[in-house]
Chains A and B, each alone.
Chain A
Amino acid sequence: MSTHSSRLAARLMVAPSVALLLVWMIVPLAMTLYYSFRLYRLISPDRTGWTGFTNYVWFFQSPDFWLAMGNTLVLVGGVLVITVTLGILIALLIDQPIKGQGVLRILVIAPFFVMPPVAASILENLFMHPQNGLFAAVSMALGYEPILFLQDYPMSSVIGIVSWEWLPFATLILLTSLQSLSSEQLEAAEMDGAGAFSRLRYIILPHMTRAITVVILIQTIFLLGIFGEIFTTTQGGPGSASTTLPYMIFKQAIAAKDIGRAAAGGIIAVILANIVAYFLMRGLGRNLDN
């Protein structure tokens, strides 16, 4: 079915959605780009005009900027390492034939259905809270002072919360990949003298490379924009210790009411995302082939 007229018809029929998607993407991007070069403060709406790169320069000179960039990357990297590592281990565990496998799998996946701010509140108040939290209770039972998670380890706490949310996603994808591994391959490896660890290293992990790549790529896209968890817990603090780029943009837009600067931050975030994507695709993209 690839005559000249059928191809033309196909193009015509796809055209509206392509056009819509293009507008959907181009308009916000163009507007952000436009505002990023404008002086546009909601506090002084009468003072407007072109400012050149002032908004960008402000960002690059802001003492928090490089910290926020670093925090963003630490957040993404930390969550990826935790979710992929634990995801592989949990997937291996729940792939074992046991009673109640179905229920167990639903339980493992459940955290993913919790909304980000809710998840953050649950972990903040029920687990990490220095007075009411489970961790505090454990610390005190063992005779230690409760750990002040959000105050002393703000980035680690945020990474922990976000990992808790994304671990089920990673586990789910990795589990399906694990289930598609033919048992004969594992048996062949067993006959070939490969122990449990060698089977993991030489058979299971190579088989899962593609799924791991997918997990890393998808999670990176979402993790670069993590905001709700920080907003509900540390508010970017103490000081700016847990401020990430999206949170910094939020502070400029809502707290400082400077739309121009926030737009500039948005453009910087887009560029950062593209740089990360470029390196990820270069490093991992070939895993997606064949």
Chain B
Amino acid sequence: MGKIELTKVRKSFGEVDVIPGIDLIIEDGEFVVFVGPSGCGKSTLLRLIAGLEDTTSGTIEIDGKDATNLPPAKRGLAMVFQSYALYPHMTVRKNIAFPLKMAGMDQAEQDKRVERAAKVLNLSNYLDRRPGQLSGGQRQRVAIGRAIVREPAAFLFDEPLSNLDAALRVGMRQEISELHQSLKTTMIYVTHDQVEAMTMADKIVVLNAGRIEQVGAPLELYNFPRNLFVAGFIGSPRMNFIEGAEAAKHNAQTIGIRPEHIAVGDGPWEGVVGLSEHLGSDSFLKVAVDGIGTLTVRAPGEVHAHHGDRIRLAPAGKIHRFDANGLAL
């Protein structure tokens, strides 16, 4: 099936160590998301697993077999690219059938599998069109179709939703999650969007500068970030970090408190509202708190606070404490 094990995988381009050394186990059937800011090496890591880049050192095992030096086609993985990489001169049918044709499968079996994939992905009416005649979401589905017909050991997704508009993105996110529910195949998904990571993943791998900062289930990362980077990266809006006297009260170099864990009303902190965003379901306030600095507050529902108002705030949830090295206490 699709267990993937990376041991001390290192990748350097010339002098630059893009990935200085990564150990990671991806269990069979898991939906793993690599997340991190751009340039953190998450796409490189995915390409190493795919075999599109050679590892500088270390080993990659797929299903217990060493695949470090196998060519991409022999690894039994399928990949969905950011640009979809559809073949523009082929119809949707031929695009989806291409990996089967390359595998030398007979025509009847090819047709059967293409029809089945098209049905799952709602593409049955578009099989004879070319990619150029499809919308972004449909192209995305063709790319996924091309991946699923091969029945691979694992799917690799390289930022597949970044070319779609916001509404489609939410829809496709759900479709990919549902696909994972029904196929139960290992999926590795690369994104820089922590919302995608939080909503889809069984396991999130947070990467920064080619290093794994933390691996864990979405809520584990949300509730127990191991360091400042993870704390700041997971959660939207971003966690507030407070240093100085207020942090010293909690015996920490830095304390972090999430915007949703600050209550508006009576409390020890007082400040002036700088910016207020009213979304209806939530209100985001940027408050310049005396002696602390600017805090972002996420208050549920409608809060009647506007620019220039003085309000009082109180911590109403977990306060994360970090030491001088940025590690959680």
In angstroms, Cα B85 to Cα A192, docked, is 11
Q: Which residue on B lies nearest to A186, using beta carbons?
A: B85
Q: Which A165-199 residues have C-beta < 8 A from chain B?
A: 182, 184-185, 187-195, 198
Q: Are B102 and A194 in contact (CB under 8 A)?
A: yes
Q: Are A189 and B81 in contact (CB under 8 A)?
A: no
Q: Are B72 and A190 in contact (CB under 8 A)?
A: yes
A105 interface residue per 8 A CB criterion: no
Least Cβ–Cβ distance between B53 and chain A, in angstroms: 10
In angstroms, Cα B73 to Cα A195, docked, is 9
Q: Which residue on B lies nearest to A199, using beta carbons?
A: B102
In angstroms, Cα B103 to Cα A36, docked, is 63
Given A184-B82, A185-B87: A190 and B132 interface contact (C-beta under 8 Å):
no
Least Cβ–Cβ distance between B169 and chain A, in angstroms: 20
Q: Which A189-237 residues have C-beta < 8 A from chain B?
A: 189-195, 198, 202-203, 206-207, 209
In angstroms, Cα B90 to Cα A209, docked, is 13
Interface size on A, residues (CB 8 A): 19
Please, which residues of chain A bring their CB within 8 A of the CB of B79?
187-188, 191
Least Cβ–Cβ distance between A284 and chain B, in angstroms: 15
Least Cβ–Cβ distance between A83 and chain B, in angstroms: 23
Q: Which residue on B lies nearest to A207, using beta carbons?
A: B89
Given A198-B102, A290-B132: A184 and B81 interface contact (C-beta under 8 Å):
yes
Q: Are A192 and B81 in contact (CB under 8 A)?
A: no
Q: Which residue on B lies nearest to A203, using beta carbons?
A: B87
Please, which residues of chain B bring their CB within 8 A of the CB of A185?
85-87
Residue from the list B82, B85, B86, B98 in contact with A202, Cβ < 8 A: B98
Q: Are B85 and A193 in contact (CB under 8 A)?
A: no
Q: Which residue on A lies nearest to B71, using beta carbons?
A: A190
Q: Which residue on B lies nearest to A194, using beta carbons?
A: B102
B83 interface residue per 8 A CB criterion: yes
Interface size on B, residues (CB 8 A): 25
Least Cβ–Cβ distance between B122 and chain A, in angstroms: 22
- Chain A interface secondary structure, helix, strand, loop or mixed? helix
Please, which residues of chain A bring their CB within 8 A of the CB of B132?
290
Please, which residues of chain A bring their CB within 8 A of the CB of B146?
188, 192
Please, which residues of chain B bring their CB within 8 A of the CB of A198?
102
Q: Are B72 and A191 in contact (CB under 8 A)?
A: yes
Q: Are B89 and A192 in contact (CB under 8 A)?
A: no
Least Cβ–Cβ distance between B329 and chain A, in angstroms: 44
B78 interface residue per 8 A CB criterion: yes
Please, which residues of chain B bring their CB within 8 A of the CB of A209?
89
Q: Are B89 and A188 in contact (CB under 8 A)?
A: no
Binary contact readout B65-94 vs A (1 if CB under 8 angstroms, 0 otherwise): 000000111000111011101111110000
B99 interface residue per 8 A CB criterion: yes
Q: Are B85 and A184 in contact (CB under 8 A)?
A: yes
Q: Are B50 and A206 in contact (CB under 8 A)?
A: no
B52 interface residue per 8 A CB criterion: yes
Q: Which residue on A lies nearest to B50, using beta carbons?
A: A191
Please, which residues of chain B bring their CB within 8 A of the CB of A190?
52, 71-73
Q: Are A187 and B98 in contact (CB under 8 A)?
A: no
Please, which residues of chain B bring their CB within 8 A of the CB of A188?
79, 81, 85, 87, 146
Least Cβ–Cβ distance between B47 and chain A, in angstroms: 8
Given A190-B72, A190-B73, A193-B99: A182 and B83 interface contact (C-beta under 8 Å):
yes
Least Cβ–Cβ distance between A201 and chain B, in angstroms: 11
Q: Are A192 and B102 in contact (CB under 8 A)?
A: yes
Q: Which residue on A lies nearest to B77, using beta carbons?
A: A191
Least Cβ–Cβ distance between A188 and chain B, in angstroms: 4
Please, which residues of chain B bring their CB within 8 A of the CB of A189?
87, 98
Q: Which B215-235 residues have C-beta < 8 A from chain A?
A: none
Least Cβ–Cβ distance between B219 and chain A, in angstroms: 33
Q: Which B74-127 residues have C-beta < 8 A from chain A?
A: 77-79, 81-83, 85-90, 98-99, 102-103
Least Cβ–Cβ distance between A204 and chain B, in angstroms: 11
Q: Are A206 and B83 in contact (CB under 8 A)?
A: no
In angstroms, Cα B102 to Cα A185, docked, is 15
In angstroms, Cα B72 to Cα A174, docked, is 28
Least Cβ–Cβ distance between B187 and chain A, in angstroms: 15
In angstroms, Cα B80 to Cα A191, docked, is 10
Residue from the list A187, A195, A203, A206 in contact with B81, Cβ < 8 A: A187
In angstroms, Cα B50 to Cα A195, docked, is 16
In angstroms, Cα B50 to Cα A290, docked, is 33
Please, which residues of chain B bring their CB within 8 A of the CB of A290?
132
Q: Are A192 and B98 in contact (CB under 8 A)?
A: yes
Q: Which residue on B lies nearest to A185, using beta carbons?
A: B85
Least Cβ–Cβ distance between A193 and chain B, in angstroms: 4
Please, which residues of chain A bring their CB within 8 A of the CB of B50?
191
Interface centre among B50, B72, B103 (most CB of A within 10 A): B72
Please, which residues of chain B bring their CB within 8 A of the CB of A191?
50-52, 72-73, 77-79, 99
In angstroms, Cα B78 to Cα A290, docked, is 30
Please, which residues of chain A bring their CB within 8 A of the CB of B52?
187, 190-191
Which 4 A/B pairs are nearest by Cβ-Cβ distance?
A: A188-B85, A192-B99, A193-B102, A184-B85
Instruction: Pick 16 A–B contacts, CB within 8 A, sort by A.
Output: A182-B85, A184-B85, A187-B72, A187-B79, A187-B81, A188-B79, A188-B146, A189-B87, A190-B52, A190-B73, A191-B72, A191-B78, A192-B73, A193-B99, A202-B98, A203-B87
The chain B residues found within 8 Å of chain A, CB to CB, are 50-52, 71-73, 77-79, 81-83, 85-90, 98-99, 102-103, 132, 146, 150
Other CB < 8 Å A-B pairs besides A190-B72, A202-B98, 4 of them?
A185-B85, A185-B86, A192-B146, A207-B88
